[in-house]
Structure 1
Amino acid sequence: MSLTYVMSGFAVGLLVGMTGVGGGSLMTPLLTLLFGVTPSVAVGTDLAFASLTKTAGTITHRSKGNVQWGIVLRLCAGALPAALVATFALHRFGALTPAIGLVIRYSIAVSVLLTVVALMFRARMLAWVHASPGRQLHGRALSLATVFAGAVLGTLVTISSIGAGAIGATILLMLYPRLSPAEIAGTDIAYAVPLTAIAAAGHWWLGSIDWLLLATLLVGSVPGITLGAWASRAVPERVARTLLAVTLTGVAAKLIY
């Protein structure tokens, strides 16, 4: 089984490297559907996985000046308190109980579908933003919207481990359309580090992290991400994202039904 987990980590890393989509939208459903890992443990383990991998990504983006720290602080102002509240709510209602496990399962499905929407309609949404400059937020309104977006993402990530990748990047594009793609990626990864770390610590407290599983996933994911980044040059982005969106839609349907 350990080899299977390593290969799964490699496969997810490969897709993440090719498409740039957060691993949570792939790894958490995979653990739940294919390996029968309980939803809460799948979420907790993936959060610990994400906190480690995103730390390395943040270091790289920081060295290239791709992180907008003011935006990171505003996102964290909403996301971190929301993660703590969501963690205490899971503790209050019992994160490892079958009933809460079902809620988490449906939350994962909703998060996956939101990721599909972000993948398929990101370009259209960005075009609408650029075509409607009068609708763009500025000043205090923009700051408050960023904090609110962080709170929504913090709740979503803590419950389902999904949201800090494609969804978060799409929200940043809508709120800050003048940022370059590299700045969107760097800022999205940077705010996700403390968020996933706090959410992972919460799940550790709840007892919903499988450390052996985490280690085997990391062994496979690191070379997978590297190879995927190279393969992305040979596969058209639109084709890769469309295939991924179709796959994720099927995953969400399976989680629900």
Structure 2
Amino acid sequence: MELGYIVAGLAVGFIVGVTGVGGGSLMTPILLFFGVNPATAVGTDLLYAAITKAGGVVVHQRQRNIDWKISAWLAAGSVPAALATVWALHGLRADTEAINTVIKHALGIALLVTAAAIVCKQRLLAFAQRHIPVGETLYGGRRRLWATVATGVLLGVIVTLSSIGAGAIGTIALFLLFPLLPTARLVGTEIAHAVPLTLVAGLGHAGLGNIDWGLLTNLLIGSLPGIYLGSHLTGRLPDRVLRPVLAGMLALVGAKLVF
């Protein structure tokens, strides 16, 4: 089974490298397929995401692709929300079945939303570009700040319960909030925000005993070279084929978990 986890990490890392889609939406369903219980799958995947995305932060910072102000606004909402969600799960700690049921349904909903975000991404981005107000500045006003913090709160809850959302959903939300932000800077900013969020949520799950450290090691052994290989094929594989197939797979898994 250890070899299976390494191969899963390699496959997910490769797909993430090619498409840029967050690993959580792929890795967590795979772990459920292997028979890992939902709470352990989510907790392990959160720390897996924090470690893998930390490397992305280093690369994007070197290229000056991170807007730390926007990342801080998101974290101001997401980190406290993640802590509050972990605290709520801690209250259910004695009822393992209840925790797994909550996480399973949250995971299914997050997968369905992520699938919709993948399919509608280009239309949403085009809509945001068409409706930029005259005289718009990058950061907007106080209302934009509070909308960003509120988005962080929503992401904090979703990611803590499902390990999904920081990538596909978070990036699209950022583009709708800040349509003047260059795409490369938008992606880097969201990755920078995802690291503290997934780290805090992952450590919270560790406190609940929802981490399989051996599993985490095997996933990293496979995923790190997978991301490296996939990143070198970005743009060479047809995106118009990859994204619909990926979205369809996520929608099927999400529907099964919810219904």
User: 2:6·2:218 contact (CA, 8 Å) conserved in 1?
Assistant: yes
User: 1:47·1:161 contact (CA, 8 Å) conserved in 2?
Assistant: yes
1:16-95 superposed matches below 5 A: 16-32=16-32, 34-94=33-93
Structure 1 residues without counterparts, runs of 5 or longer? none
**SS at structure 1 position matched to 2:204:** helix
- Relative to structure 2, which stretch is displaced further, 204-213 or 175-184? 175-184
Partner in structure 2 of residue 133 of structure 1:
132
Q: Report how far residue 138 of structure 1 moved.
A: 2.4
User: 1:142·1:175 contact (CA, 8 Å) conserved in 2?
Assistant: yes
User: 1:96·1:208 contact (CA, 8 Å) conserved in 2?
Assistant: no
Distance 2:61 2:94 in 1: 35
Partner in structure 1 of residue 113 of structure 2:
114
**SS at structure 1 position matched to 2:103:** helix
User: 2:115·2:247 contact (CA, 8 Å) conserved in 1?
Assistant: yes
User: 2:24·2:49 contact (CA, 8 Å) conserved in 1?
Assistant: yes
Q: Report how far residue 230 of structure 1 moved.
A: 1.9
Cα deviation digits, residues 7-63 of structure 1 (max 9, x gap): 01011111111110110000011111x111110000000001011011110011001
Aligned length: 256
- Relative to structure 2, which stretch is displaced further, 135-144 or 214-223? 135-144
**SS at structure 2 position matched to 1:123:** helix
Distance 1:98 1:237 in 2: 39
Change in 2 beyond 3 A, CA 1:96/1:234: farther
Q: Report how far residue 96 of structure 1 moved.
A: 6.4
Structure 2 residues without counterparts, runs of 5 or longer? none
Distance 1:102 1:88 in 2: 17
Partner in structure 2 of residue 9 of structure 1:
9
Residue 211 of structure 1 aligns with an amino acid whose one-letter code is W
Partner in structure 1 of residue 184 of structure 2:
182
User: 1:18·1:240 contact (CA, 8 Å) conserved in 2?
Assistant: no
In the alignment, which of 230, 233, 244 is matched to residue 231 of structure 1? 233
1:196-211 superposed matches below 5 A: 196-211=198-213
User: 1:40·1:96 contact (CA, 8 Å) conserved in 2?
Assistant: no
Q: Report how far residue 127 of structure 1 moved.
A: 1.6
Partner in structure 1 of residue 100 of structure 2:
101
Cα deviation digits, residues 139-167 of structure 1 (max 9, x gap): 10100000000000011111110010000
Distance 1:188 1:95 in 2: 35
Residue 178 of structure 1 aligns with an amino acid whose one-letter code is L
User: 2:92·2:98 contact (CA, 8 Å) conserved in 1?
Assistant: no
Identity %: 48
Distance 2:94 2:42 in 1: 11
TM-score after normalising by structure 1:
0.96
RMSD: 1.5
Change in 2 beyond 3 A, CA 1:178/1:134: closer
TM-score after normalising by structure 2:
0.95
Q: Report how far residue 95 of structure 1 moved.
A: 7.6
Change in 2 beyond 3 A, CA 1:180/1:231: same
- Relative to structure 2, which stretch is displaced further, 113-122 or 19-28? 113-122
> Structure 1 residue 212 and structure 2 residue 214: aligned?
yes
Residue 228 of structure 1 aligns with an amino acid whose one-letter code is G
User: 1:95·1:206 contact (CA, 8 Å) conserved in 2?
Assistant: no
Distance 2:211 2:241 in 1: 34
Residue 5 of structure 1 aligns with an amino acid whose one-letter code is Y
> Structure 1 residue 191 and structure 2 residue 190: aligned?
no
Residue 180 of structure 1 aligns with an amino acid whose one-letter code is P
User: 1:41·1:210 contact (CA, 8 Å) conserved in 2?
Assistant: yes
**SS at structure 1 position matched to 2:35:** coil
